[in-house]
Structure 1
Amino acid sequence: MIVGIDLGTTHSLIGVYGPDGPRLIPNALGSLLTPSVVSVGDDEEVIVGRAARERLVSHPQRSVAAFKRWMGTDRVTALGTHRFRPEELSALILKSLIADAEAELGQKVAEAVISVPAYFSDSQRKATRIAGELAGIKVERLINEPTAAALAYGLQQREGGGRYLVFDLGGGTFDVSILELFEGVMEVHASAGDNFLGGEDFTQALLNAFLADSGLSASQLALSELATLERRIETLKHDLARGNEATLELPLAGEPRQWRIDEAGFARVSEPLVQRLRAPLERAMRDAKLSPGQLDEIVLVGGASRMQLSARLVSRMFGRLPLRHVNPDEAIGLGACVAAGMKARDQSLEEIILTDVCPHTLGVNTTRESQGGYTSGVFSPIIHRNSTVPVSRVERYYPTHDGQRQVEIQIYQGESPRVENNVRLGAISIDLPSRRRDENAIDVRFTYDINGLLQVEATLASTGLRHEVLVEKNPGVLSQEEIRERLAALAALKVHPRDQQENIALIARAERLYEELLWAREQLQAALVQFRGVLDLQDSAVISEHRGEFVRFLDAVESQGYT
């Protein structure tokens, strides 16, 4: 069984392609969206999803979110006695999604197509594949999120084809892709983006504005207070996204606080972020060599695209209203399901060829003559960004001086003219015969394939001697030996059973409300003690009855809020 997965910064989804088309699968709590949050309980058991999100407030030092932004790095997060890399945290989310799918489908999930931001680097894509391996599934195919969104909208089924711009603003990343559809081919012409720009940043901008207006700093607040404030600011942002004026009331630093902001105020505090949205849009259009009038449609996806400022920006830049009739939270997940159906060669899907582009420029470190001397660290591109893959390019280089006996070809990825600002991917050392520099030409060929693998060949022109390296190991990416070690460590973790997720989430919600609402603590404590006692009875009928009462009680408490 092949599934499609949207492994998101704030939420993740899983689904399949069936007789009725793409279908998303609910989790154990009945929701299609599983929060991309991991927490570790006091008993060192791992908690994933909604319960973990609730614990961001009550147990901030034992919970973590937005770790998708760290993929491809060697950052380590300590939760309780455990230490996790980004791939492992993502693998825990994937394991939870797969358990939901297997419970729904009644069969084993062996493979997945996972969506990734179009602007993800080579190391981030490899880290995503490793997360799948750690979760126990095969991930041969990654699909760019904007391409998945196009599949969700069924653009590949439109007669006559066309050119489309996909604007994908998620919780933590921003992607722009320009696609052209023609004769059964979906070709990506250009991709651009910002891997550190998303809904989380707009939440942070609102939080900073609140703190400034209140004369507070984050360092004055306890971790639990800051977590509560972040959660309330997120709710306020959703109100503003619907075009409403929003009010925030809560006690902080020993005083009651009240703050009001309208859509115009939100636009003001978000202006620097809106300007950051413009740059990838302009770059993608420039790289695709298109004018706004040459686009047939603009598609908005990603949960953060619900903000009115997203639609206004697109409308101003392109002179038209965008499409957004598919639920922006679900579009990429649905598209991943279509891609999974295509990979499984589902007979109901027409054959369509998906092309992609290399999102970043690839090249080598060179030394150039300048005013009688030499300047080192100069980046020489071989494959430019937005080249259609698979692609192979060759450039000729020479040693810096006569009689040079060795040269090291250093491989880099990035857009800066200086290699020090780009990402080093590897190197090849070549022994040279003792000759004049113009007799020691070296042909360097880069070949980049659809799976994001870079092969580098360096051939000495005078002898035909060839050196070759497959760039698979990136800084921050686990080796195969490390993967085996991490697999064993993850297998030894205690994870709360799926059938207890609803109870765990309710307890976490009650603990979060206890943390936030001083006036309701006695009632909440009594309700928690009673519910835990019912769970100890292990009578499913009694638990189900009391769970319903507990939910209604928590809903009533939360509706009263901070009054």
Structure 2
Amino acid sequence: MIIGIDLGTTNSLVAVWRDGKAQTIPNALGHMLTPSVVGFDDQGEILVGLPARERMLTHPQLTTALFKRYMGSDRSTRLGNQQFRPEELSALVLRSLKADAERFLGETVTEAVITVPAYFSDAQRKATKIAGQLAGLTVERIVNEPTAAALAYGLHDNNPESKFLVFDLGGGTFDISILELFEGVMEVRASAGDNFLGGEDFGEALVDGFIDAVKPALDHFDKQADQALYQQLRQEAERAKRMLSSASQATMSLPWQGQTLEWTISDDMFAQSVQPLLNRLREPIERALRDARIRVAELDHIVLAGGATRMPLVKKLVARMFGRLPSMHLNPDEVVALGAAVQAGLKARDAALNEVVMTDVCPYTLGVDVSEEILPGQYQPGFFLPIIERNSVVPISREQTVTTISDNQPAIHVRIFQGESRLVKDNIFLGELTVPTPPRPSGQMVSIRFTYDVNGLLEAEMTVAETGEKHRLVIEENPGVLKAEEIEEKLRALTRLKIHPRDQLPNTALLTRAERLYQQALGEDRLWVGQLTNAFQAALERQDNADIEQARENLKSLLDEIEGESWL
């Protein structure tokens, strides 16, 4: 059985293709969405998901989120006295989703299709595959998130021919893909995006607005230094953002030094405060349309994916830009995972999917560092020579010819980059290869061939024309990406970690929520939360199921009364 996983910045989920359809899989709490949050509990055991997120406020030094944004880098996060890389934190989320799938399916799961933002770099894609490996999964395919969303919509609509634009705004990333469905083929025409733009940034704008509004009370507040207060503000911002999806205004409040600081924001004020973010959404859309050579009028569907597309101001922006209402008849939180499950069904050669073929594109331009003649006989290095242009259909193989620039040049040293800038210093370095050349006058020709496959694996081959000598480099390692021996070491370290018992997660999630609300509440509310929490813990100690159910319901009802139902 191959599962499909949407490994998200804010939330993750898992789905499976079974009985001729894609379906999402609930986690141990019965929720489809698992927050992409990892932390330690008081016993030193790993918590993943909602129980970990509830501890962001009470134990910020033992909890972390948003690590997907740093995939492919060597950034590390300290939790207690341990350091974790983004791949390891992602692996813990993937391991939790794998366990959910195994419980739901009743069988061991070892293979997965994992989605990534379309604009993820080569290093970020490799880091995602490593995270799967650390979680005990063989990653059968890496699929771009908007491609997965379009695949889910394409099968859902049963339309033999149509053109999609997928607008995918998740918690931390933004992607645009333009796809065409014809005669059972789903072809990606173009992709563009922004890896540091998502719903979390809209929430951060509300945090900044609140801080500005309540000055000078929080004039010297430092987000990094006071993580507990910052996490409380982040939570208030998320609630306000959700409130503005259904109301014309929302109020953020914060208990601070014996007083309650409040700020009421209208939907117009919110739209004005996030205008720079809305402006950043436009450029990738325009680039993708240009690259696909498709006019807006030719698009049959504008598809929304990602939880952040629920914001009315995002829907309004899309409607204004395209002159029509977007399609949202599939849950935007789940559509990417459903598409990943479809791709898993394709990999498993499910009979119901025999007629579906999917193509994808290379999201970045791939090329080499060359010297250009600025004045006669004067060469300047550092220029980017594209070999495979962005949005070329993959798999693909392309060739360029370069020449030596000096007499008796002993070798050609080629550095490989990805990006769109004219100068290589502004692009991303991938690897390098040196090819010896015979002592001859300048102008010796060397051909460089790039081959790029569907999983983002790049192979560079250089051939010296005069000798026919070939040199080959497979870009499997990038700066910041773990090497094979490091992966083995990290795998052993993760295996030694104690994971919080899954059968206790519902009770743990409720207790961590109660602890957070106790710290936030005052007066009578705090008294009641403390008393009912004690009663629930006492029932757990007695191990009487009837008492536990009653005490759990009493505590949950009180918490919902104080802050509303828990959200994902």
Which bracket does the TM-score occupy, shorter chain normalised? over 0.9
Residues 290-331 of structure 1: per-residue CA shift (max 9 Å, x gap): 111111111111100011122222222221111111111111
CA distance in 1, matches of 2:352, 2:565: 51
Q: State which drifts further: 158-167 or 284-293.
A: 158-167
Q: 1:322 to 1:396 in 2, by over 3 A?
A: same
CA contact (8 A) 1:225 1:252 kept: no
CA distance in 2, matches of 1:187, 1:18: 24
CA contact (8 A) 1:44 1:80 kept: no
Query: Equivalent residue for 2:379?
Result: 374
Residues 184-218 of structure 1: per-residue CA shift (max 9 Å, x gap): 11110100000100000000111111111211344
AA matched with 2:88: E
CA contact (8 A) 1:150 1:156 kept: no
Cα offset for 1:276? 0.3
CA distance in 1, matches of 2:542, 2:479: 51
Match of 1:153, SS state, is: helix
Instruction: Determine which of 235, 239, 247 is the counterpart of 2:239.
Output: 235
Q: Structure 2, unaligned stretches of length 5 or more? A: none
- Count of residue pairs brought into register by the alignment: 560
Match of 1:351, SS state, is: coil
Query: Equivalent residue for 1:185?
Result: 185
Query: Equivalent residue for 1:21?
Result: 21
Q: State which drifts further: 311-320 or 421-430.
A: 311-320
Q: 1:317 to 1:556 in 2, by over 3 A?
A: closer
TM-score, with length taken from structure 2: 0.95
Q: 1:102-113 maps to which residues of 2 (within 5 A)?
A: 102-113=102-113
Match of 1:197, SS state, is: coil
Q: 1:157 to 1:549 in 2, by over 3 A?
A: closer
Query: Equivalent residue for 1:344?
Result: 348
Query: Equivalent residue for 1:55?
Result: 55
AA matched with 2:289: M
Residues 116-157 of structure 1: per-residue CA shift (max 9 Å, x gap): 111111111111111111111111111111111112223576
Query: Equivalent residue for 1:485?
Result: 489
Residues 88-128 of structure 1: per-residue CA shift (max 9 Å, x gap): 11111111111111111111112111111111111111111
CA distance in 1, matches of 2:201, 2:401: 44
Cα offset for 1:522? 3.5
Query: Equivalent residue for 1:306?
Result: 310
AA matched with 1:458: M
Query: Equivalent residue for 2:5?
Result: 5
Cα offset for 1:465? 0.5
> Are residues 1:422 and 2:427 paired?
yes
Cα offset for 1:85? 0.7
Q: State which drifts further: 304-313 or 146-155.
A: 146-155
- Aligned alpha-carbon RMSD (Å): 1.7
CA contact (8 A) 1:243 1:308 kept: no
Q: Structure 1, unaligned stretches of length 5 or more? A: none
Query: Equivalent residue for 2:222?
Result: 219
AA matched with 1:355: T
Cα offset for 1:389? 0.5
> Are residues 1:531 and 2:536 paired?
yes
Q: 1:399-410 maps to which residues of 2 (within 5 A)?
A: 399-410=404-415
Q: 1:469-508 maps to which residues of 2 (within 5 A)?
A: 469-508=473-512
CA contact (8 A) 1:156 1:186 kept: no
Cα offset for 1:400? 2.0
CA distance in 1, matches of 2:70, 2:299: 34
Query: Equivalent residue for 1:316?
Result: 320
Query: Equivalent residue for 1:393?
Result: 398
> Are residues 1:77 and 2:77 paired?
yes
Residues 2-55 of structure 1: per-residue CA shift (max 9 Å, x gap): 111111111111121111511111111111111110011232211011000100
Q: 1:426 to 1:559 in 2, by over 3 A?
A: closer
Q: 1:425-464 maps to which residues of 2 (within 5 A)?
A: 425-438=430-443, 440-464=444-468
AA matched with 1:39: G
Match of 2:489, SS state, is: helix
Match of 1:167, SS state, is: strand
Match of 1:231, SS state, is: helix
Q: 1:323-338 maps to which residues of 2 (within 5 A)?
A: 323-338=327-342
Q: State which drifts further: 215-224 or 298-307.
A: 215-224
AA matched with 2:111: E
Instruction: Determine which of 211, 227, 246 is the counterpart of 2:250.
Output: 246
AA matched with 2:245: A
